[in-house]
Amino acid sequence: MQCQVSYSFVLRKNMSIITATLGYPRIGKRREVKKALESFWRNELPSEELLQIVQEVEEASWTKQAETGIEQIGIGDATLYDQILDWSVRLGLIPARFQQFSGKERYFAMARGKDGVPALEMTKWFDTNYHYLVPEITADITPIADFSDFITVVKRSITHLGKKAVPIIISPLTLLQLSRLEGVVFEDILNQLLPLYCELLKELKALGVKTVQIHDPILVLSNASHLKAHFQKVYTEFGQTGLNIHLVTYFDDLGDTYPWVMELPVNTISLDFTRGNNLELLQKYGFPSDKILGAGVIDGRNIWCIRPQTVISLLETIQTVTNNLLIQPSSSLQFVPYDAALEVKLPEPLHNVLSFAEQKLEEVVISGKTLTGENTQTELALIEQKWDEFAQFSPVNQEIKTKLENLTPGDFQRSLSYTSRIAQQISLPTLPTTTIGSFPQTSEVRKLRSQYKRGDISPEDYQKAMEAEIAKCIKIQEEIGLDVLVHGEFERTDMVEYFGQQLDGFAFTQQGWVQSYGSRYVRPPIIFGDVVRTAPMTVQEYQFAQSLTEKPVKGMLTGPVTILNWSFPRSDISRQEQAYQIAIAIQEEVTDLEKAGAKMIQVDEPAFREGLPLKQEKWSDYLSWAVDAFRLATASVQPQTQIHTHMCYSEFGDIIQDIERLDADVISIENSRSNNRTLEEVAEGGYSHQIGNGVYDIHSPVIPTVEQLTQQLKTGISTLPLEQIWVNPDCGLKTRRWEEVIPSLKNMVEATRKVREEI
């Protein structure tokens, strides 16, 4: 069935339609930058060659954008590690501990730490899975600018792209708002940075630059209005440099800042029309006739082709308000992989509706052409046709649909309350000791998995080898004296991929890399259809492990919210619906594990917190369905079955009630890195279920001593009631070596024994 749509636009008077981008992937189509960086770090590649490779990748991206027909190309966001770090360095925001170094050595020390000097803190860039290095500004820092590297790039881009090159600059307001300020006042430091920025703008103008993009995404955060006066001051000064100022926002709508942002003395304002309700704000308040609207209509963060009708009618609505438009992606394209055309192993109908950076450029261009009245009927109809073919390839699964429609409150509710059921669950020593699930993934284990994947070893041999790993792991845990054991997760490359590969509705790319941080790139699975479990996924490993020991072994699963948050979701149904579908699949697995005899089942949700929306007023909606998805996955078990969960990097203070509402019997958390802050938050929030506050940091190779661990346990006991406390490391042990893991856990068990004796 093919829909007949007509896209006819009458060219309007005084209309200006220009295509633009706000940033591009910079890791290299074949991950060239990662490879170069890592060889540079191993001293196998000279610094000039590293820079050469980064430059080639950057210039290839410029060429691609220009050839596709982008008229204003955002430039200057290529980076050796992180563009926020680049701006910190350019502005001389160098904390004292890095002053001993210089040049590249200092840059990478700030990024990764060096010789006992800890790196800058790293955190998520808004609600993306990209992580930036948090600028640290202390009273002893005096900003001094050195923009030479940026100026060089701008010059190069002008040679390459001429007038199309538009430098991307991170606004001082966003930079400061995301910084850690210690002993300094926001306004003071802003006053020091502002002249440096103005100098830069003047320098750019002297080079012949006409327009600059100033990226100010903090405008979409709920509390941005308190910075109004600062925004007015900064943009007034920027405007006085004589450059065209393009203020760029993304990731959500402007909310209550909309009316005053429109009044800022800038030439262009970019809004994200794929998230939040900028469209309503635009219709309600209008748009200044003397400004250009950067219409972010092509989603820079999903990997799906446009739905032509939706985008064109969105643009049509926008045009009823203003006719001076940039047509562009909603954000930088760094959040999507390079090129869907490389994914030749995917089924054709799916492959055809994927859109990565290169395809999104084409979508920008075709949308622009449509608006200016060019005939794009054929191209648009072709996209519609591909969607029709995809719909046939991936039809609605009636069974899961009906299941979701018929859910009742009982499906989300354990049959007994925590206090009533806990007495019926397995009895364990005071301060039970356990781990988070994974044990070292040695090179032998990784080799086995890849041999199996390539078909070099038979399924039987693979299974035997995996069983040998499990057996070794169980034996070691018994020798260490842990109370609750795990099978070790040797069969899993990744806690989401492992499940995605066994569930219907997930696809995996070959080259779909996106930067997580520095040289770490990830390939998120794609959820493309209804998620259905077709067979047990973990029961065999659980059963084998349990058959080897009298001690209880925990079943080990990844939770629905984490699976969703670490994948590229579908765009045709809500995230809630996708989470519920996954929850049902996990629930079926939970049921099978229970039938197989599991007394304890852990459902990990490390990505639970990171799914929180940017605007606080939207938190309750997310928390409501995310908690319910976890409950749906776990509530069906008998009262005797103990449900565990695990979360890392979590600050709980503000969502502790929601964590309690998960209704897990036991939660294990990251705590030692936050210096017991998480533990205190949990106690202050009145959390009443059992909790394993991670007693040592698994991210460090250092082996914690019995004394340190005893101290850590005592802090736990003095903060929370004894019956609530479990003893475990911070997180899974897969990245550590056995030589580190065994003594660390032995010390943990020894410390527990000591503390048990004392109480």
Active-site residues, by number, are 699
CB atoms inside a 10 Å sphere around CB 539: 17
Longest C-alpha distance within the chain, in Å? 85
Query: Does 734 sit near ligand GLN (CB under 6 A)?
Result: yes
Over the window 712 to 731, marking each residue x when it contacts Zn ion by CB under 5 A and - when it does not, the resulting string is -------------------x
Take residue 118 and report the two structure tokens written for it.
Answer: 């800890």
Long-range Cβ contact pairs of 8-17 (< 8 A, separation 24 or more): 8/373, 9/370, 9/371, 9/372, 9/373, 10/373, 11/372, 11/373, 12/319, 12/323, 14/323, 14/324, 15/323, 15/324, 15/372, 16/292, 16/323, 16/324, 16/325, 17/325, 17/327, 17/368, 17/371, 17/372
CB atoms inside a 10 Å sphere around CB 422: 16
* Residue 562: CB minimum distance to Zn ion, A: 10
In the complex with Zn ion, which residue's Cβ is closer, 368 or 559? Answer: 559
Q: Are the C-beta atoms of residues 128 and 301 closer than 8 Å to each other? A: yes
Handedness of CA 445, 450, 456, 460 (dihedral sign): positive
Determine the Cα–Cα distance for residues 57 and 740; give it in Å rounded to an integer: 39
* Residue 445: CB minimum distance to ligand GLN, A: 13
Partner that binds at residue 514, options ligand GLN, Zn ion, none, CB closer than 5 to 8 Å by kind = none
The one among 648, 691, 725, 749 contacting Zn ion by CB under 5 A: 648
In the complex with Zn ion, which residue's Cβ is closer, 314 or 731? Answer: 731
- Bridge-based pairing state of the strands 73-75 and 268-272: unpaired
In the complex with Zn ion, which residue's Cβ is closer, 531 or 731? Answer: 731
Partner that binds at residue 579, options ligand GLN, Zn ion, none, CB closer than 5 to 8 Å by kind = none
Partner that binds at residue 745, options ligand GLN, Zn ion, none, CB closer than 5 to 8 Å by kind = none
Determine the Cα–Cα distance for residues 414 and 636; give it in Å rounded to an integer: 6
Query: Does 644 sit near ligand GLN (CB under 6 A)?
Result: no
* Residue 668: CB minimum distance to ligand GLN, A: 9
Of 572, 69, 65, 528, which is closest to residue 307 (Cα–Cα)? 572
Q: Are the C-beta atoms of residues 560 and 582 closer than 8 Å to each other? A: yes
CB atoms inside a 10 Å sphere around CB 100: 12
Take residue 185 and report the two structure tokens written for it.
Answer: 């006042």
Q: Are the C-beta atoms of residues 110 and 92 closer than 8 Å to each other? A: no
* Residue 733: CB minimum distance to ligand GLN, A: 7
Could you tell me where the DSSP H helices lie in 615-705? 619-634, 656-661, 677-684
The one among 27, 436, 626, 666 contacting ligand GLN by CB under 6 A: 436
Query: Does 732 sit near ligand GLN (CB under 6 A)?
Result: yes
Query: Does 151 sit near Zn ion (CB under 5 A)?
Result: no
In the complex with ligand GLN, which residue's Cβ is closer, 90 or 646? Answer: 646
Determine the Cα–Cα distance for residues 476 and 261; give it in Å rounded to an integer: 61
Q: Are the C-beta atoms of residues 274 and 295 closer than 8 Å to each other? A: no
In the complex with Zn ion, which residue's Cβ is closer, 37 or 731? Answer: 731
Determine the Cα–Cα distance for residues 152 and 595; give it in Å rounded to an integer: 65
The one among 176, 583, 731, 755 contacting ligand GLN by CB under 6 A: 731
Partner that binds at residue 437, options ligand GLN, Zn ion, none, CB closer than 5 to 8 Å by kind = ligand GLN
Over the window 731 to 750, marking each residue x when it contacts Zn ion by CB under 5 A and - when it does not, the resulting string is x-------------------
The one among 214, 648, 662, 669 contacting ligand GLN by CB under 6 A: 648
* Residue 490: CB minimum distance to ligand GLN, A: 11
Contact positions with ligand GLN (CB under 6 A) in 33-62:
none
In the complex with Zn ion, which residue's Cβ is closer, 74 or 729? Answer: 729
Partner that binds at residue 491, options ligand GLN, Zn ion, none, CB closer than 5 to 8 Å by kind = none
Of 15, 16, 19, which is closest to residue 328 (Cα–Cα)? 19
Of 271, 262, 376, which is closest to residue 314 (Cα–Cα)? 271
- How many chain residues bind ligand GLN (CB under 6 A)? 13
| Segment contacting ligand GLN by CB under 6 A, of 62-70, 85-93, 540-548, 726-734 | 726-734
Residue with nearest beta carbon to ligand GLN: 732
CB atoms inside a 10 Å sphere around CB 180: 13
* Residue 1: CB minimum distance to Zn ion, A: 47
Of 525, 88, 730, 353, which is closest to residue 98 (Cα–Cα)? 88
In the complex with Zn ion, which residue's Cβ is closer, 531 or 561? Answer: 561
Q: Which amino acid is at 757?
A: E
> How far is C-alpha 214 from the geometric centre of its chain's CA atoms?
23
Q: Are the C-beta atoms of residues 321 and 345 closer than 8 Å to each other? A: no
Query: Does 736 sit near ligand GLN (CB under 6 A)?
Result: no
The one among 25, 606, 692, 704 contacting ligand GLN by CB under 6 A: 606
Partner that binds at residue 438, options ligand GLN, Zn ion, none, CB closer than 5 to 8 Å by kind = ligand GLN
Contact positions with ligand GLN (CB under 6 A) in 456-515:
489, 495
* Residue 531: CB minimum distance to ligand GLN, A: 20
Helix (H, G, I), strand (E, B) or coil at 109: helix
In the complex with ligand GLN, which residue's Cβ is closer, 438 or 641? Answer: 438
Partner that binds at residue 495, options ligand GLN, Zn ion, none, CB closer than 5 to 8 Å by kind = ligand GLN
Concatenated DSSP letters of 532-548: EE-S-SSHHHHHHHHHT
The one among 71, 362, 411, 604 contacting ligand GLN by CB under 6 A: 604
Over the window 563 to 602, marking each residue x when it contacts ligand GLN by CB under 6 A and - when it does not, the resulting string is ----------------------------------------
- How many chain residues bind Zn ion (CB under 5 A)? 3
Contact positions with ligand GLN (CB under 6 A) in 611-640:
none
In the complex with Zn ion, which residue's Cβ is closer, 537 or 648? Answer: 648
* Residue 630: CB minimum distance to Zn ion, A: 16
Over the window 681 to 720, marking each residue x when it contacts ligand GLN by CB under 6 A and - when it does not, the resulting string is ----------------------------------------
Side-chain half-sphere CA neighbours of 330 within 13 A: 22
Determine the Cα–Cα distance for residues 241 and 478; give it in Å rounded to an integer: 70
The one among 31, 599, 646, 736 contacting ligand GLN by CB under 6 A: 646
Helix (H, G, I), strand (E, B) or coil at 222: coil
In the complex with ligand GLN, which residue's Cβ is closer, 547 or 735? Answer: 735
The one among 217, 300, 437, 559 contacting ligand GLN by CB under 6 A: 437
The residues that touch Zn ion, with contacts defined as CB under 5 A, are 606, 648, 731
Residues engaged in binding ligand GLN (CB under 6 A) = 436-438, 489, 495, 556, 604, 606, 646, 648, 731-732, 734
